[in-house]
Amino acid sequence: MKRSFVDLHLRLSSSDLVHTQTLTAKAAELGYTFVAAPFAPGTKPDEIRKIKAFCADVGLDFVSRVDLRPRSENELLNLLRKLRRRFEILCVLCETKEIARQAAKDHRVDLLNFPLLDQRRRFFDRAEAELATCSNAGFEVDVKPLLVLEGPSRVRFLSCLRREVAVAVEFRLPIVLSSGASEVLLMRKPREVAALALLFGLKGDAALDAVSEVPAGVVKKNREKLGVGFVAPGIRLIKQGEDC
């Protein structure tokens, strides 16, 4: 069966239409079917529809996403309550242990992303993975740092990723490989992204799944949740009224 490839972290700009057209056209050329781009929490629906139209013009299915960078656990909970039904993908940028732990155990969170490159400030460990197992949150890896870092910085980053990916695999967490790219030069074909995953221990079908089946599953699950009639996983309201 032919794979549908997905990049859930392409950095588009709703205010720079030329930039958006360039990146979406390139994503389609590289062979992606779905792309997601993060928006600010206060983004208006019209701006999202505009990006969706650009993507449709080049044959891409666009997925709306918000990246949350809360300063406290209470702020995270408030944002999740407010935004869950406004965006298809909710990602939490985990910059403190407290935020990472809270995000990992909340079923409303789709992706956990650890943006800080300093290994002393990355908090994905066995305790984090165990919490995420219960909520089914995915572990997202952006490949952009692998392309821009050099020397010892790249070596340290790879060491972190090897350890973190091994933990995610052990706990059977969904692993998502994304580009994190904001310019064409940092974009790669899906199979090239999967090949980069060999550097940190994700091999073969598992690497390909991380740029296709796994992120596509996240999108499908959330679109079902946001659809009319959704009650709970596996339960939909088909009809209501006195004649039911």
Strand partners, 39: 66
The structure's pTM equals: 0.90
Answer yes or no: is 147 within a domain: yes
Domain count, the chain: 1
**Any domain includes 241:** no
Q: Please check whether residue 195 lies inside any domain of the structure.
A: yes
Instruction: Tell me the residue type at 76.
Output: L
Whether 243 is in a domain gets the answer no
Helix (H, G, I), strand (E, B) or coil at 34: strand
pLDDT in tens, 5-21: 999 999 998 778 899 99
In tens, the pLDDT along 84-141 reads 999 999 999 999 999 999 999 999 999 999 998 887 788 899 999 999 999 999 999 9
Asked if 194 and 153 count as a contact pair (C-beta separation under 8 A), the reply is: no
Report the CATH number that the domain containing residue 165 is assigned in CATH.
3.20.20.140
| Window from 6-20, 30-44, 227-241 with minimum mean pLDDT | 227-241
Instruction: Identify which of 203, 143, 196, 213 has the alpha carbon closest to the alpha carbon of residue 169.
Output: 203
Sign (positive/negative) of CA torsion 142, 144, 149, 155?
A: positive
Q: Is residue 244 part of a domain?
A: no
pLDDT on residue 206: 97
Domain containing residue 172: 5-236
Residue 227 lies in a domain: yes
pLDDT band for position 231 (cuts 50, 70, 90): very low
Residue 34: which of 225, 172, 215, 166 has the closest Cα?
A: 215
Average pLDDT for 156-184:
96
Residue with tokens 């004649």: 243
> Of 25-29, 94-98, 120-124, 145-149, where does mean pLDDT reach its minimum?
120-124
Q: How far apart are CA 90 and CA 106, in angstroms?
A: 11
78 Cβ contact partners less than 8 Å away, ≥ 6 residues apart: none
Q: What is the 3-state secondary structure (H, E, C) of 25-55?
A: HHHHHHCEEEEEEEECCCCCHHHHHHHHHHH
Tell me if 242 is assigned to some domain: no
Cα torsion for 24, 26, 32, 34, to the nearest 10°? -10
pLDDT tens for residues 177-212? 999 999 999 999 999 999 999 999 999 999 999 999
Residue 78 within a domain: yes
